Amino acid sequence: MTSDRTLVDVRALQIHPLHNELLSELRRRATSASGLFPELWVAPFDTVTSTMDVARELHGGRALLASVAEPIGATEPRCSIDASRSTTAPIAVVALTQDRGRGRNDRWWNSRAGEGMYATLILGIDRPISDIRGLPLAIGVGVLRGVRELGGDARLKWPNDLWTIDEAGAPTGKLAGVLVESWASGDGQTVSIGIGLNLTPSSDQLPFPRATLEESAGRGVRYELAVTTVLSACCGALEEFLCRGLEVLRTEWEQQSITRNRQVRGIHGGKEIVGRALGLEAHGGLRILPDGADLEIVLHSNEISLVQF
């Protein structure tokens, strides 16, 4: 999980009119939540290049953050933040559109208003990178919980994509994706979690089938409700992961996976392998028994070039 520095002129971005509706929904949710969620700062924009780039620019910038974001745990908006918490307080950047949304393997796409949820959650974690390797899978569980709370359904494709399935259990379309990046910050890590969730149908031609929350739930879901519910569920899963590790979420991930017990294709040690996915190892790697082999191997996200069903 790595990231290069990208400068963004955040002050030139436009706050969208949905700002008030979104913050009101978030505050209603925060009154009954604990842990990370009530501490969240939210910066909603109209159009950005990438929510991940904007989130990185805001993180740690106290004056800049206070000029475009609000703490949802407060009863009234305020324009200052506690300097002692500024480098660790979680920030959520949400946008109606992205000019160049980022995905894995340097893929990018344009995101139009109303068609999806585009958000990045960024926070400081006072732990070495080795202690948070399973975080992407925890976030995948969080997104799935949020989707189900909104009336939709999906399954997890390793490590953290969400796909809808048919009655036979075969994947039919990609509903959501997660991209996690991190970089060293003091004695710990700064972690950026990008979340994309398809809300309504699109005319775009994609290299894979596209599913939507509207289709999965059988009804339209209000934008602010979708963002609030998914962010809340992700913060809950993140809290569980940070308190108790991946083990507390591993069984749930495996039960909801369309990767486990299927034939997969990937790269291990520079060579292509094909085999049956057995499940997760302790840190979130994918355990695979290669065809014709007696010993299993473990693939990590940076070793995967392709997973096929």
Residues 271-291 pLDDT 10s = 888 999 999 999 999 999 999
CA 89/CA 4 separation, integer angstroms: 21
The amino acid that residue 120 corresponds to is T
Residue 234 near residue 193 (C-beta atoms within 8 A):
yes
pLDDT at 15 over 70: no
Q: Are residues 177 and 293 in the same domain?
A: no
Residue 157: give its domain's CATH number: 3.30.930.10
What is the Cα–Cα distance from 166 to 161, expressed in whole angstroms?
16
The pLDDT confidence band at residue 78, using thresholds 50, 70 and 90, is: very low
Confidence of residue 303 (pLDDT cuts 50, 70, 90): low
In a shared domain, residues 187 and 225 = yes
Q: Which of 45, 56, 42, 47 is nearest to 5 (CA)?
A: 56
Q: State whether 187 and 282 are in the same domain.
A: no
Let me know whether 140 and 45 are in one domain: yes
* pLDDT at residue 114, rounded to an integer: 76
Answer yes or no: do 74 and 216 share one domain: yes
Give the single-character DSSP code of 279: E
Structural domains in the chain (count)? 2
79-96: pLDDT as tens digits = 333 333 333 568 899 988
Residue 290 pairs with which residues in a beta bridge?
275
Tell me the pLDDT of the chain averaged across its residues: 82
* 193 plus 217 within the same structural domain: yes
CA distance 139 to 250: 12
| Distance of alpha carbon 300 from alpha carbon 101, whole angstroms | 24
**Looking at the structure, do residues 178 and 90 belong to the same domain, yes or no?**
yes
Domain-located, residue 62 = yes
* Residue 160 forms part of a structural domain: yes
Q: Within this chain, do residues 138 and 160 fall inside the same structural domain, yes or no?
A: yes
Smallest CA-to-CA distance from 156 within 309, 237, 280, 259 is with 259
In a domain, 4, yes or no: no
Reported as type and span, the H/E element at residue 250 is helix 247-255
What is residue 254's predicted lDDT score, i.e. its pLDDT? 95
Q: Is residue 309 part of a domain?
A: no
Mean pLDDT in residue range 38-45 = 84
Domain interval for residue 291: 263-303
Residue 1 lies in a domain: no
- Asked whether the whole model's pTM tops 0.85, one would answer yes
